């Protein structure tokens, strides 16, 4: 046997999709048009839930109704407080044979407003944020921001806000120093380039002038509040009843002359949310009942009752089991879950934080992450060989391009996903998702071929 033949038989290397399957480029290109649209429509978890429900109802899903006896192929969804969503397609075998679960998250790092955010300083009106999730604060200065969220009024009415997204709408911004005066700031550690309390968001600079020549203390703040009141009928006190998220105002774009990448805010983890949704919608008559989970609060530890460290998914599994006369414990024990989340794509500019043989790469397909965590795999789910075997074989049998990936080299850092919370329900789970460049930045990059192959992986998993 020649060395080349033996090499082919015994050794393994992940191929570059565009080299091995160039025909996928057009398919990926077309698939990502819908993906970019989803990113533009859903910049908060609430907006993602709304957009997803519109997609699901269009595809024949109905809100779960415990009085209906569901048949194979029936499609339902559960809306958890407008901030998390679960969709299911009933399988031809009962739940006790196991569910095919797939959990992505729809919250992304951002600047949340504090409960008392409005202030004036030096004749400028500002909003004060408290950042949400792991951001690199210095990246958020001089980025055009849009205002998204809800405000509760005294009468209980919830007012929805989206400002800065449509052509011609005003946007908002955090300032940074000019280089000429930045000598002291330049000497700071990068993590303190912009400090948490320096992320003040400009919302106005014109004072309110009364009818007489009256003097009030903060006329610019008053003017900003007047404009908000005219638009939304709110007063300053209403901010205490609000959830307002300041997010990058720009739209998703093609990156590169070859248009091979999508650049956008919030791809972690709406990329897995979109591909999972699309796969569930495309699944017509699955063997196992599917469960597509779009969770909130992953970026702050899956806390709260819309995050996966709560029992809401368990309760949904109980709904399904009650409806199908199945045992919940057996169902969970036999279920498999993909914890669908992004991983760090190898970045040649910052090569030293990766271990090259175990990093994920753009254009090599979806990334299967056996373990996350930090130091000695601390905080990791660490999927079993049996679970890896199941998922890898499924992908191989269905021609899905996939790769493995660690979140950086040993002891460089680390992170976690929803995987460990799913495992707490006694479900086999492994992380799978899309490699991302500049993860958690206001503008993240993903390869269209990887997005498309993640969709293909989910279709193979569900079918």
| Nearest residue (beta carbon) to Mn ion | 269
Comparison of 106 and 174: residue with beta carbon closer to Mn ion: 106
From the CB of 104, what's the least distance to Mn ion, in Å? 8
Comparison of 208 and 371: residue with beta carbon closer to Mn ion: 371
Comparison of 280 and 341: residue with beta carbon closer to Mn ion: 341
Q: Show the tokens assigned to 160.
A: 């929805």
Strand partners, 163: 147
From the CB of 317, what's the least distance to Mn ion, in Å? 23
From the CB of 242, what's the least distance to Mn ion, in Å? 24
From the CB of 341, what's the least distance to Mn ion, in Å? 4
Comparison of 107 and 120: residue with beta carbon closer to Mn ion: 107
Comparison of 103 and 219: residue with beta carbon closer to Mn ion: 103
SS3 per residue for the chain = CCHHHHHHHHCCCCCCHHHHCCCHHHHHHHHHHHHHHHHHHCCCHHHHHHHHHHHHHHCCCEECCCCCCCCCCCEEEEEECCCEEEEEECCCCCHHHCCEEEEEECCCCEEEEEEEEEEEECCEEEEEEEEECCCCHHHHCCCCEEEEEEEECCCCCEEEEEECCCCCCCCEEECCCCHHHCHHHHCCCHHHCCCHHHCCEEEECCCCCCCCCCCCCCHHHHHHHHHHHHHHCCCHHHHHHEEEEEEECCCCEEECCCCCEEEECCHHHHHHHHHHHHHHHHCCCCCCCEEEEEECCHHHCCCCCCCCCCCHHHHHHHHHHHHCCCCHHHHHHCCEEEEECCEEECCHHHHHHCCHHHCECCCCCEEEECCCEECCCECCCCCCHHHHHHHHHHHHHCCCCEEECCCCCCCCCEECCCHHHHHCCCCEEEEEECEEECCCCCCEEEEHHHHHHHHHHHHHHHC
Closest CA to 453 of 389, 337, 370, 360: 360
From the CB of 272, what's the least distance to Mn ion, in Å? 8
From the CB of 458, what's the least distance to Mn ion, in Å? 16
Comparison of 96 and 268: residue with beta carbon closer to Mn ion: 268
Comparison of 268 and 428: residue with beta carbon closer to Mn ion: 268
Rounded Cα gap, residues 151 and 216, in angstroms:
27
Comparison of 222 and 407: residue with beta carbon closer to Mn ion: 407
Comparison of 171 and 372: residue with beta carbon closer to Mn ion: 372
From the CB of 253, what's the least distance to Mn ion, in Å? 21
449 vs 215, 226, 245, 338, 452, CA distance in Å?
A: 61, 48, 31, 20, 5
From the CB of 3, what's the least distance to Mn ion, in Å? 42
From the CB of 302, what's the least distance to Mn ion, in Å? 10
360 vs 220, 369, 394, 436, CA distance in Å?
A: 50, 9, 20, 9
Is residue 245 within 8 A of residue 44, CB to CB? The reply is: yes
Comparison of 163 and 366: residue with beta carbon closer to Mn ion: 366
From the CB of 441, what's the least distance to Mn ion, in Å? 11
Give the CA dihedral 111, 115, 117, 119, nearest 10 degrees: -170
What is the binding site for Mn ion (CB under 5 A)? 268-269, 341
Comparison of 417 and 453: residue with beta carbon closer to Mn ion: 417
From the CB of 231, what's the least distance to Mn ion, in Å? 32
Comparison of 18 and 52: residue with beta carbon closer to Mn ion: 52
From the CB of 146, what's the least distance to Mn ion, in Å? 20
């Amino acid at each position: 046997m020649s060395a080349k033949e033996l090499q082919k038989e015994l050794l393994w290397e992940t191929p570059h999709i565009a080299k091995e399957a160039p025909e996928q480029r057009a398919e990926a290109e077309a698939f990502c048009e819908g993906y970019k649209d989803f990113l533009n429509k859903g910049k908060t978890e609430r907006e993602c839930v709304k957009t997803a429900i519109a997609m699901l109802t269009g595809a024949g899903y109905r809100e779960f109704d415990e009085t209906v006896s569901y048949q194979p192929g029936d499609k339902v969804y559960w809306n958890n407080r407008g901030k998390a969503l679960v969709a299911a397609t009933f399988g031809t075998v009962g739940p006790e044979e196991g569910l095919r679960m797939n959990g992505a998250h729809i919250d992304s790092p951002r600047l949340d407003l504090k409960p008392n955010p409005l202030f004036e300083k030096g004749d400028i009106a500002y909003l004060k944020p408290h950042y949400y999730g792991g951001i690199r604060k210095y990246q958020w200065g001089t980025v055009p921001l849009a205002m998204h969220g809800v405000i509760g009024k005294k009468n209980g009415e919830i007012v929805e806000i989206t400002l800065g997204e449509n052509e011609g709408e005003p946007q908002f911004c955090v300032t940074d120093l000019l280089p000429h005066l930045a000598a002291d700031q330049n000497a700071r550690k990068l993590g303190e380039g912009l400090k948490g309390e320096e992320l003040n968001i400009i919302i106005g600079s014109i004072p309110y002038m009364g009818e007489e020549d009256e003097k009030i203390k903060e006329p610019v703040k008053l003017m900003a509040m007047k404009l908000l009141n005219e638009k939304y009928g709110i007063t300053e006190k209403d901010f205490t009843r609000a959830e307002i998220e300041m997010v990058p105002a720009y739209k998703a774009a093609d990156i590169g002359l070859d248009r091979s990448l999508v650049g956008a805010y919030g791809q972690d983890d709406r990329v897995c949310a979109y591909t999972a949704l699309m796969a569930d919608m495309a699944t017509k008559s699955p063997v196992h009942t599917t469960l597509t989970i779009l969770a909130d609060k992953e970026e702050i530890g899956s806390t709260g009752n819309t995050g996966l460290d709560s029992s809401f998914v368990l309760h949904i599994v109980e709904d399904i089991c009650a409806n199908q006369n199945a045992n919940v414990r057996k169902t969970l024990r036999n279920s498999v879950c993909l914890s669908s989340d992004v991983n760090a794509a190898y970045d040649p500019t910052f090569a030293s934080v990766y271990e090259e043989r175990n990093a994920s790469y753009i254009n090599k397909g979806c990334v299967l992450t056996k373990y996350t965590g930090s130091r000695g795999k601390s905080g990791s789910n660490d999927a079993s060989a049996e679970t890896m075997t199941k998922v890898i074989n499924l992908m191989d049998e269905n021609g899905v391009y996939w790769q493995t990936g660690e979140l950086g080299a040993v002891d460089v850092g680390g992170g976690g996903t929803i995987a460990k919370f799913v495992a707490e329900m006694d479900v086999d789970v492994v992380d799978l998702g899309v490699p991302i460049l500049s993860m958690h930045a206001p503008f993240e990059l993903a390869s269209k071929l990887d997005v498309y192959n993640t969709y293909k992986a989910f279709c193979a998993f569900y079918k």
